[in-house]
Amino acid sequence: MSAVQNSSGDDLLVVTGGAGFIGSHIVLDLAETGSRVVVSDLLRSGDKWRNIARALLYDVVRPDMLFEWLSRHGDKVVAVIHMGAVSSTTEINVDKFVANNIRLTLDLWDWCAANATRFIYASSAATYGDGSAGFGDDESPTALAALRPLNAYGWSKLVIDRRVVDEVVRGRPTPPQWAGLKFFNVYGPNEAHKGDMQSVVSKIYPIVKAGGPVTLFKSHNPNYGDGGQLRDFVYVDDCVASVRWLLGDSMTSGLFNVGTGTARSFLDLVGAVCAALGCAPNVRFIDTPAEFRDRYQYFTQADITKLRAAGFDRPFYSLEDGVREHVRSMSIIGR
């Protein structure tokens, strides 16, 4: 049975970035429920295709051919789940963010609005910057205008959030359902293709497994000890569940934080990985690189009050339970 409310057996769901980290988990989840899934992504020459190898797919489309594909098959598409993006927080070529994160998203928004197609897209906790304006997913224009992202990635996501809300406030055409999901620090399997941009959990897993020392950044903020920097670490299955919930509730639209609501330290994270592998923590600290030291986030914590009020009542994985599941999955797939 399809995961999409009011869909028929012939309906299609398009997942951009569908072979990537969060996208591939969404694809696998939808395919397992019997939905007909179309993946739009660049696979290149690596093993990224393995992320979706076990899914029954309706089609795979290059991103540069997506709108031509939609012109032929768009009448069967009931939802676009837009996870495709340049997600590097250290990328310095801002034009990449403009082309991939802003322009493509707005084009898809316009297409979904014109074709009465539901639209769910990935926003980011990076829109909150250093958190001085809080971590509440208030979608009022005033609240969004107060946010100050620390990098171009966060800025590109905020551009979309503000434009979408402006369309809604002005009463312009919108998709019948729309949602921007502000993912916090997501971890889980299927990150290998991201290289240095993998989550800390995925980075340190092979190191801990091999018995080596884990390297963490020193704190350059007197309010936090070394390794005491705090993040809201959210397991990827919880992100998938938020998308599944939205697809099952076509009346819910808006911007929503997706995080556990609990900030944990990097030392907690190392401890969780070591506990899952049955070893003692071995940590050494290095200076945070000077080039992004002034853009480093010391604290993130999702306010999920709005998400809960909208009806998402699924419990989030604790850090320990999520890491344990991640380590179990990594042990099974061997990468």
152: Cβ contacts below 8 Å, ≥ 6 apart: 91, 92, 94, 97
Strand segments, DSSP code E, in 58-100 are 59-61, 77-82
Domain harbouring 137, CATH code: 3.40.50.720
The answer to whether position 65 is within a domain reads yes
Residue pLDDT, tens place only, 255-282 = 999 999 999 999 999 999 999 999 999 9
Query: Do 243 and 130 sit in the same domain of this protein?
Result: yes
211: Cβ contacts below 8 Å, ≥ 6 apart: 279
| Domains in the chain, number | 2
The answer to whether position 4 is within a domain reads no
Query: Do 142 and 288 sit in the same domain of this protein?
Result: no
**Rounded to an integer, what is the distance from CA 125 to the centroid of its chain?**
9
By annotation, the residues acting in catalysis are 153, 194
Residue pLDDT, tens place only, 281-317 = 999 999 999 888 888 889 999 999 999 999 999 999 9
**Rounded to an integer, what is the distance from CA 255 to the centroid of its chain?**
13
- 298-325 as b/e, with b when 16 or more CB fall inside 10 Å? eebbbebebbeebebeeebbebbebbbb
Query: Do 218 and 176 sit in the same domain of this protein?
Result: no
Given this model, what pLDDT does residue 102 score?
Answer: 98
Domain harbouring 217, CATH code: 3.90.25.10
Helix, strand, or coil (residue 201): helix
pLDDT, mean of each 10-residue run, the chain (335 residues): 64 98 98 97 93 98 97 98 92 95 98 98 97 96 97 96 98 98 97 90 94 96 96 98 98 98 98 96 94 88 98 98 94 63
Query: Do 209 and 279 sit in the same domain of this protein?
Result: yes
Please give the residue range of the domain that contains residue 20.
12-186+233-261+301-317
Query: Do 140 and 212 sit in the same domain of this protein?
Result: no
CB 269 within 8 A of CB 201: yes
Query: Do 119 and 139 sit in the same domain of this protein?
Result: yes
